Structure 1
Amino acid sequence: MTSQQTVLVVDDEPTICWALEKMLVGEGHRVVTASSAEEGLRLAREHSIAMVILDVRLPHMDGITALPKFLDATDNASVVIITAFGDLETAVAAVKNGASDYLTKPFKLEDALRTCRTALQKSAQRSAPTATQPMLLDRTVLVGTSPAMQQVFRQIALVADSDLSVLITGETGTGKELVAAAIARHSNRTNAAYIPIAPVALNPELIESELFGHVKGAFTGASEDRAGLFERAEGGTVLLDEIGDLALGTQAKLLRVLEQGQYSRVGDVKPRTADVRILAATNSDLHDAVASGSFREDLFHRLTGVQIHLPPLRERLDDIAPLCHHFLAAMEYADTGIDEVLLAELQQRPWHGNVRELKNAVSHAAVVARGRRLNISDFPDPKPGRDTEPVSSDRSLERVVEAWTTATLAAHPDTETLHADFLTASEPALLRVMLQHTGGNRAKAAEMLGIHRGTLRDRLRAYRID
């Protein structure tokens, strides 16, 4: 545990302030709290603050606007931004304006504690924030509200301005290329070239020429000197997509770029310098490739300065709703409705093609619906897939119940019989299936249901089930 330091918590939710104060006092620190940025700034000037925990949504002055003021008032204390409305724009804006880290409500106290410990350790070494380019965020790039996507946004924000190489992993269609583009867009190289390339799509015999260039006469058809990818991207960023398919010989030359910042054109021995940031993406397991000898271990470690993993869509079903609305808005079908029942049905699909498959399905449905409210029949049949686990039946049932409850509350917001209504809607089907399963044996059905025979008899009578 570090020595006692003073922490300022600025949040208009008293429970958040209380929980963070208890946690940090337990660590041996002193805590002062404020419910507004203005009050927090006053306290920051009165105390020697080592860290500020700052909410984004505050009355009057918001946290992003107040962030540089807290850095000035505290002699650049570490600032951790917290918000219930986390998105990539907030994360990038926070980090670009000097925040040391980013938490999304609701967060676990153990995660907050780990973040605070790191921020306090960095507090003494923090330097003044530098001026940044105005942030131009393309809202059509990354969409997601799930905890998994919030973690991805946070990682992008934290690594964007560094020159570390980044390995982006995930299944096909999860959005790896979009993550790379976001890193390049929000980096300090944003005004230089960003060049994505898939080596597997290139002619194997010419791939080194494509990457490093060639001199006249280097091979048949090389009628003049030609700059390669790294030369054209000087000062910028390169994405090597499906890096696992790169030949071993080319891997060695790429390693030289990463280790020494040098390369040579094909047919030339003169070394050239490469001021290029390298991002790599793959849908394969590079650990297996290293074990099999098809991928260099030293290159693997060089590429994984930071690793960002995009989970498949089936593991972040809460993102389906915002993604659907986003795709419809992009197609100018924003007025086309998607109700909770339809969303529940979409969340039961396995989505083997991930976000890309969902986008295509929504586009198809919007065209078929011709402006009316969408229903499941407007969507194409699910695509078959391999090597993926189906959505569990428990999860599917949960989604159906959520959809039914949401729809019922929308129709009857002041209901006082919701539980009884749910039983009336669902219990008859359960009882009918159990009687069919036991061949009409009510004693056996009651035993399997875990209820008394008399209770079963009464419920069958109430639902008029023979």
Structure 2
Amino acid sequence: MESMTTSRLNDAEISKPSLVLVVDDEPSICWGFERMLGEEGHRVITASTAEEGLRLAATERPALVLLDVRLPGMDGITALPQFLEVTHSAPVVVMTAFGDLDTAVAAVQRGASDYLTKPFRLDDALKLCRQAIRATAENERPSPAPVIRIHRGETLIGQSAAMQQAFRQIALVANSDLSVLITGETGTGKELVAAAIHRHSHRSNMPYLPIAPVSLSPDLIESELFGHVRGAFTGAAENRPGLFEQADGGTVLLDEIGDLPLSIQVKLLRILESGQYSRVGEVQFRQCNVRVLAATNADLRQAVQRGEFREDLYYRLNGVHVHLPPLRERLEDIALIAEYVLQTLQYPNAETALDQELLHELQSRPWFGNVRELRNAVEHAAVVARGRSLSITDFPSAQAGRLDSTAAQGNELDRVIADWSRGALAKQAIEGGSLHEELMKAIEPTLLRIVLQETGGNRAKAAEILGIHRGTLRDRLRGYGME
């Protein structure tokens, strides 16, 4: 746990004095909560085992229980239902330093009100405690969470703080019907998050359809998603249900949601708000019950500002936001992921196949393709090594990843320019003007600013890098109001 110095939240969030039970075999954790919550006026009692904690809970009736997972004797997950019973369902916050998706889901399944991963920020822990204590004081104790099915074989792996937060969000939101927006770079595991949310939901035995709008024919995307009636267009020889209709009762993942045409975004918004849709060529509305998950590696807020994505749809999709960081920002997860891949390959001595020198080398790579690239690299190394301990020479060159990234960045730039060009052409048809001039106004100021920043404001050097005369650079800066 971090230093005991913590900022105060606003007075409206401070709860009335209550009794809090902390069950943890780490004295420093117990002491930290005693001091932090004591400063709020609460009384804190502690126990180092679940058995001792249950005895205290039965006699003291705490307003809140903070329960560690790994305890000597009975573990916290096993003891959780008993704490709920003896305290008459006072909120229980589960704490663990060994968080994985199964642990988070199991905690919620057994009735935990929330999930706290060590090490945690004191402000986060304090805010969570205040909310739970206030709910108890107002006699609004949260009811035990609905049962969430636990499935083994999850491939979402990570001990980093960001992944622990993702696990917590999945566990808490899975059994609701909220829309979820999943963001992250290509290869970070967005589809795995969506599949886990569906798998742990009450819709798990209903259809799950991952849909990539960009892979559908632009002329037929509306028909593919919502279906059509006979004669709606040339070639529509019979009535046909769309993907949403096929997924009725289940879950739909719209991958790369930012590529969805504006005309389709209107129909998607109607489904999210009322569950209504109509097939192409049909006048009356139909009803469907589908949970919508959306994934993207683009910044939808910028797309909204550019007029390429509906603002109301963005907020409707963003009921809960799960962000997956790039692998280069969670280096502590590389060994776990590599060992998992080797275990799935049944590689001999998978846990010791990577020595510290090799692990350091893997952690120094940029992994532009993220988890997908790492998985492919480990599989490649396993084939080359043929059962012996792995070495860096068994892995593909890191340069391949850089080339892939450059190509991906080029493709993304092509997409952005193409999208801008289509919008500008539509605008030009109404207002007229020079398309090339508009493009330069959109791009050149940013280019000039970056080059000047890199050269420390040296205009002669900037002009040389840009390949233009210094006087031309001066005139363009003046023209853009950048003097």
Q: Same fold (TM over 0.5)?
A: yes
What is aligned with 1:427?
none
CA distance in 1, matches of 2:185, 2:354: 27
Letter of the aligned partner of 2:338 in structure 1?
C
CA distance in 2, matches of 1:291, 1:130: 38
What is aligned with 2:327?
313
Please give the per-residue CA displacement for 1:119-144, whole angstroms capped at 9, x wherever unaligned.
223333234326525422323x2011
**Gapped runs of 5+ residues in structure 1?**
390-466
What is aligned with 1:234?
248
1:107 counterpart = 2:120: yes
Displacement after TM superposition at 1:295 (Å): 0.4
CA distance in 2, matches of 1:301, 1:134: 29
Scaled by the length of structure 1, the TM-score of the pair is: 0.81
What is aligned with 1:150?
164
What is aligned with 2:343?
329
Letter of the aligned partner of 1:329 in structure 2?
Q
> Does the 8 A contact of 1:171 with 1:283 survive in 2?
yes
Which deviates more from structure 2 when the two are superposed, residues 51-60 or residues 106-115?
106-115
> Does the residue aligned with 1:21 lie in a helix, a strand or coil?
helix
Letter of the aligned partner of 1:197 in structure 2?
I
Structure 2 counterparts to residues 413-452 of structure 1, below 5 A: none
What is aligned with 2:177?
163
Please give the per-residue CA displacement for 1:167-187, whole angstroms capped at 9, x wherever unaligned.
000100110000111111111
Structure 2 counterparts to residues 152-191 of structure 1, below 5 A: 152-191=166-205
CA distance in 1, matches of 2:99, 2:54: 23
CA distance in 2, matches of 1:121, 1:256: 37
1:197 counterpart = 2:211: yes
Displacement after TM superposition at 1:387 (Å): 11
> Does the 8 A contact of 2:258 with 2:298 survive in 1?
yes
Task: Find runs of 4+ consecutive structure 1 residues off by over 6 angstroms.
Answer: none
Letter of the aligned partner of 1:132 in structure 2?
V
What is aligned with 1:347?
363
> Does the residue aligned with 1:188 lie in a helix, a strand or coil?
coil
**Gapped runs of 5+ residues in structure 2?**
1-13, 410-483
CA distance in 1, matches of 2:145, 2:165: 25
RMSD across aligned C-alpha pairs, in angstroms?
A: 1.7
Distance change in 2, residues 1:55/1:387 (3 Å): farther
> Does the residue aligned with 1:58 lie in a helix, a strand or coil?
coil
CA distance in 1, matches of 2:407, 2:125: 36
CA distance in 1, matches of 2:100, 2:175: 18
Displacement after TM superposition at 1:388 (Å): 11
Which deviates more from structure 2 when the two are superposed, residues 222-231 or residues 201-210?
222-231
> Does the 8 A contact of 1:244 with 1:295 survive in 2?
yes
> Does the 8 A contact of 1:167 with 1:304 survive in 2?
yes
Number of residues paired by the alignment? 388
Displacement after TM superposition at 1:191 (Å): 1.5
CA distance in 2, matches of 1:55, 1:349: 36
What is aligned with 1:55?
68
CA distance in 2, matches of 1:144, 1:161: 22
Letter of the aligned partner of 2:204 in structure 1?
T
Identity %: 65
What is aligned with 1:378?
394
CA distance in 1, matches of 2:196, 2:17: 38
What is aligned with 2:144?
129
Match of 2:376 among 360, 370, 387: 360
> Does the 8 A contact of 2:185 with 2:326 survive in 1?
yes
> Does the 8 A contact of 1:101 with 1:119 survive in 2?
no
Displacement after TM superposition at 1:44 (Å): 1.3
CA distance in 2, matches of 1:154, 1:131: 16
Distance change in 2, residues 1:303/1:130 (3 Å): closer
